Amino acid sequence: MKILNSRRDFIKTSALMTGGVFASPFVLPGAYAAPTNELKLAVIGCGGRGTGAVFQAMQTGHPIKLVAMVDAFQDRLESSHKLILDKFGADKVAVPEEMKLVGFEGYKQAIAAADVVILATPPGFRPMHFEEAVRQGKQVFMEKPVATDAAGIRRVLKAAEEAKAKKLNVMVGLQRHYQNNYRETIAKIHDGAIGDITGGQVYWNDGGVWVKERQPGQTEMEYQMRNWYYFNWLCGDHITEQHVHNIDVANWIKKGYPVKAEGTGGRLVRTGKDHGEIFDHHVVSFTYEDGSVIHSECRHFPGAANRVDETFQGTKGKAYLSGGNHGVLTDWKGNQLYNHPRDNQPNPYQQEHDELWAVLFKGEYKFADAENAAKSTMTSIMGRYATYSGKPLTWDEALNGSVDLFPDKLAWDAMPKILPGADGYYPHAIPGKTKVI
């Protein structure tokens, strides 16, 4: 099985560590000692991203031991365990059968067994898992996005404050923050290389991702969780699950978050029964406090032109950035001000883990990514609210929205809040009619 260097599918060789049943080496919040031997890792969510994160953690070269694994599905957990065990061996992968936890509740036990936890389930579960990890005083690596609705964001923001108070390291997989071309180019922008940022455009346009067909005998809960990308309580739509990366770059460059969003979107080419409720395109204008506007665009149209990058305009010039190692600044006459060296680019997925684990093994406190990740995720959710409703809305209106997408009960025979009609199709948002907050 090939693991691809991507956060959507199965990821390139890299990973994190997990927990154990013994006392954590992080003795006191804000005053913990560096570990004397190894750190115990737990991974919650054993799909491609969770497996990839464990690989990346192990590849840091530190003494890490994986001691607990959790997934809703037995087959996914066992596949992940085999991949990790085959790669790193039993001395690093010591997960007894009783710590292979399947279902909805095992995350609490796994977190208790660990010093460090990786949270990599579909993002709808992130607020619940992050709250518990912080409550138990654990160091955290969690994937983006960190929630799928405003109710979840409010939970993450509250837990982020608790994590800061306890001086728990929290790193979030918005890996552009650990990617040299972004770091160095944005540092120059913040130093005034192209003046004040007056506008920009951010894109995630591609052909889309996998679809999981309904199988005989599946309950509605199992089907939606297997096909999680197409249901908002699990995924948040692709404007949140994927495009959050580009939106986060806009917030990073603007050193803030938008005060208003308005936009449009819909379902044109991805309209099947297995495509759930999400849109296949979103176009949003985000207005920031200084009046500048960032154009946000994402779509999943097979066969159309792809584009995943960010451009910005300032009073003195313009910037171009992309995950493919680009970082270019020019003045308005086209004279190059900066071009990031193409050979200065470690793999950012590995780089973030290298930096996290180095800090953990020094017993230090450095990373507090959760608040920004929550606010950038909220920016993407606000964009979805705007495209679904067809109406402009403010940051405060979006953040204080009362709609909670998460099921009232988690069980295989429980029903999610969105269900198919008699024809097998799921209802989806209709701009001008749908209530989003």
Spell out the domains of the chain, with CATH numbers in brackets: 39-176+355-368 (3.40.50.720), 177-345+377-389 (3.30.360.10)
pLDDT band at 24 (very low <50, low <70, confident <90, very high): very low
pLDDT surpasses 50 at 19: no
Residues in Cβ contact with 172 at an 8 Å cutoff, skipping those fewer than 6 apart: 141, 142, 143, 144, 146, 369, 370, 372, 373
394, pLDDT greater than 90: yes
Residue 413, class by beta-carbon neighbours within 10 Å (0-12 exposed, 13-18 middle, 19+ buried)? exposed
Q: Are 228 and 427 in contact (CB under 8 A)?
A: no
Per this entry, what is the length of the chain? 437
Mean pLDDT, all residues of the chain: 93
- Residue 386 pLDDT exceeds 80: yes
In terms of Cβ atoms closer than 10 Å to its own Cβ (0-12, 13-18, 19+), residue 309 is middle
Q: What is the pLDDT of residue 32?
A: 52
Alpha-carbon span 336 to 146, nearest angstrom: 37
pLDDT digits (tens, 9 = 90+) for 179-199: 999 999 999 999 999 999 999
Distance CA 46, CA 75 (A): 10
- Condensed to tens digits (0 to 9), the pLDDT of residues 73-112 reads 999 999 999 999 999 999 999 999 999 999 999 999 999 9
Q: Are 326 and 341 in contact (CB under 8 A)?
A: no
Q: Return the higher-pLDDT residue of 241 and 25.
A: 241
Pairing of strands 307-314, 197-206: antiparallel
**Full-prediction pTM beyond 0.85?**
yes
Q: Is the pLDDT of residue 23 over 90?
A: no
Residue 310, SS3? strand
343 pLDDT higher than 90 = no
Q: Is 322 helix (H, G, I), strand (E, B) or coil?
A: strand
Ranking 201-210, 226-235, 342-351 by mean pLDDT, the lowest is: 342-351
DSSP for 128-180, written as a single string:
HHHHHHHHTT-EEEEPSP--SSHHHHHHHHHHHHHHHHTT--EEES-GGGG-H
DSSP label at 368? B
